[in-house]
Each structure stands twice: as structure tokens, then as C-alpha cells.
Structure 1
């Protein structure tokens, strides 16, 4: 390791995205930018050592340290994310980032000439990635650290090719949505779909909405068409004070309510997935694998 000061010097003038060591950034990039690719593959020290020819000075007792090369992940052909730059948990803590072995990536802090991606979209993606991976962000000004709470993204959507009827859905989800009531489609709508709403005294409102939608998340374009469909089964949470959803440090009561509703949301979506198939996408636009969905459903 080179130390936090040396790492920051290499990333001077850039926003810095920190993710847990070994995180595969490419699928996370393609979830928002389907054409993302490695314009330059990163080379680890071990790979550099393995590729070094076994001739010359090494055999005269002179050890030459292998050189790590940072990669360049192109989001759209012009905007690049450069890294990884590895730091250990102690170095991450010194940078006021989550104290874990991490990979750091540099993001442009100003508009890239000729780029079509708005800077806000790139920083929005980085924030979503930090939340998804329990990572963090150092803005270019280095005046603060942004560490989004991974537990704050509780809403889930199942995208399926199978349209389940109300009669199909009710007996499946009511064990997890006790006291839920059927809501008819909104006046003037297409007439397709329905909603189930359950309101709780302390925990707010959970709603399952089913509708056919043309507005699908970008990540679905990276999957085989047989793995999803136009039917969206959205399970969302509305706390008693919606403003707390945007707070970096919500009240303890909000956190307790969120902990109670999160498993219910996962159970509803897991039940629907077993009945209809499809792909689950979280509030950040990333695919949620079945193992994670089951873990959320078992959480206490």
C-alpha cells in the first residue's frame, strides 16, 4: 500500500468513488450505461509480475517491483472512471471512508468536452453504486465524505412477462401484507393493473402496485429478453414522515420502522417471483439476485 496521502495525490482534482475491495464495477456501470466497457483493463501487481519476462536484472539479484496499472472504464465513449486504486481498511478510515479494504475510482469533477452524459447523471450513478455496495464518495473539494446508507433503498420491483390477476395475487401476498386493501386503477387510466395497500400504526404504508409499463429500468436492456417483461410489480414503502426518506441521518423511529418493513417487502417480491418469474430491480436500478432477496426476507 502507498498510504492515503499518496493515493489522494494520484486522484487529485477528481471525485472519488470507494467500493469494497474486489467489487466488479462493470455490471454496475452497465446498469445505468449499457454501452459501458473497459477502454483499458486494470492490471494488478500480481498480473504484472506474472507477465514480466524472467530475464535480465532479476537474475542478477536485483528485484524489480511489478507496476500496477489502473484501468479506464468508459461509460459512454468519452466519460471514463479510472481505477482501481486499492487501500486497506486503515487507509480507508484515514480518508474518512467506510473502514474496509476498498478500491478507489476517479470520476471527472467537471464536464468532459464532447461528452453527452450530464455530470449530475454520473455523480448520481456513483451515489447509487456507493449505496448499493456500502461504499462511499469523496467529492473533489475533499470538504466532506458521502456515505449513503445501504439500508435506505427498500423499494423493489419485479419485472415479469406474466400478468397475474388480482385473484392470483391476493392469497399469495396477504400473509406478508396483513390488512391490505384492494385499490382500483386510477380514473382515466388504461384499465390494467391494480394496487394493494396496507397501513400500519407505527410503520407507515406498504403498497404493491401491478401495472403494464413501457418505462422500464435501463438494466433490463442488458439482460436476455426472456428474463423479464413489461409487467411491473412494485412494492414501495411510505413512512409516516416522507421527508425522512431524504435524510442522511433519519430518526431512530424511522430506522426501526424501516427495519420492520424491509423483510415484508422482500417476502412479497420473492413470492411473486416464484409465481410469475422475471427479474427484481432495486430502487437504485440494479438487479437484485435471488440469494440477496432471500437474505432480505429473512432479516430481523
Structure 2
């Protein structure tokens, strides 16, 4: 992509590069903190689906402004991630119980005060499919949170808001006292993404966390059918910010003295690397076919 097109990206993309964040998504977590004060009295945090690490950067800056051994941040992802100061990195699958056990070991047997997840699948553009896959990812993140989150803790995750999201809300309300759906101003208006902020972890009486059913699709009938229709789960929605703030769907001029910088951290092992390699191999193979055909044609003309 050319330099000129980079200049036209939204204000949060350029501001993230100027301030050294690995992705513009850092501002989403910062704005959620402005609205909900999620970092108060937090010393142990788990960042699920952490790569490339922008949320871990925010957590490190907010919770460890100075060297503080009491604060521990564990970042988990299947992909490799460049090191960050004060962040313990793990490559693991959030649907595996071994991952949950390793997280707890990093906390010396304690539990997390806060679990965050900014993970999302590779979108297809088909909203129904994207919403379903994202909801399963949230449930997997919620399930591992039941192993590592202390009572009264907070869980934050990206969600795709759609027409069939009520069951997911009902499942979250089963485990938390307060569930709020929020859209920070740095989240593009054209996107269906939002974030669920779940406060006060309080699992049902007798609930035992386990990984044999990572999507939590057991019987929720007595919870979800207490009400019917759209009133089955009433979740408040909060849009962070106001009309005086930057609109992430618009383009603003660079500030005076601002310098366009390269991304702070490029992907170490991007998931599309295999696709790029196969495309190059296919192009080379196609080129060889054209050469062979041209040679055959020249031979026939002779």
C-alpha cells in the first residue's frame, strides 16, 4: 500500500503509530477504562487472544507505570508476539485446560482480577456467520475465565452485535452481576463490533469449571427462559464519547509537526503467511506453464 493511502487512514490509526502502540485497538481499551474505570485495584490481568499486543501495551502502561512486582500481566495467543516489558507471554490454546492451569501458576496459585479478550475470527463479510463464530470465541474465552477469574472480577470481550445475540447475553448474565454492551468512539461506526463489559463474576451455585465443554452449551433453560421474547435478556448499551470527538470513519489532517511513522510491530508469524506463500508458488507455477506453452508454440511454428 502506498504512502499516500496510509496518510488517509483514520485518526486513531495514525495516533497509535505516533504514540508507539502496535494497533489502533489500544484506544478502545483506553476509552473503556475512561467509561468504566476497569483498572481500579487491579493487580492480576489475563489478556486473551493478545497478538499483536496493543491491549497488553495499555495494561502494562496503566498498571505498571513503575516497576511493581505485585502486578502481573499474562498475555495468551496461538501466534507469537514480540516481547513487552512487564508482560508474561504464553503461546497456548484457550480451549485447553493446561493453558488455564499455566495462567494460575503465573499468579502463584491466585486468580485474576481482570480478563480481557480482543480476539476475533477472520471475517467473511457474511454477518450471520461472523456473529456465530465470534460468539463461540467469546464463550471459549468465558469458559477459560471461569478457571482463572476471581469472584467479583471483571471480564471484557469483543462482540459482534446481531439479531440473535440474546442467548449470549443470557449466558453472560448467568455468570456476572452486571453486563453492559459498549461501543467506544474509536470503534468504526460502520463496524458491527462492540464490547461486553461484565462486572462482578458470580457463577451459579454449584458450578464447577471444566474444559470438557468449552462452548458452555449445556442447559441454560431456567436462566434464559425466565423471560420471553426480546425481554429474555435486557442488556444496557453504552456508546462511549460524544459528537465532539474524532469520528473513526472520517479522515482528519495530520496534526502540525506530526511525522508519519512505520508500524511499531509488524506481525511475527501472521496467519496469512501460508496464503501468501501458496499464492507465490501458484504464480511461479503459472509462469512456468506459460513458458512451456510459448516454447511448444515456437517449436510448432518452426
Normalising by the residue count of structure 2, what TM-score does the alignment of the two structures yield? Answer: 0.22
Query: If each structure's strand is expressed as a fraction of its own residues, which one has the higher value?
Result: 1
Normalising by the residue count of structure 1, what TM-score does the alignment of the two structures yield? Answer: 0.22
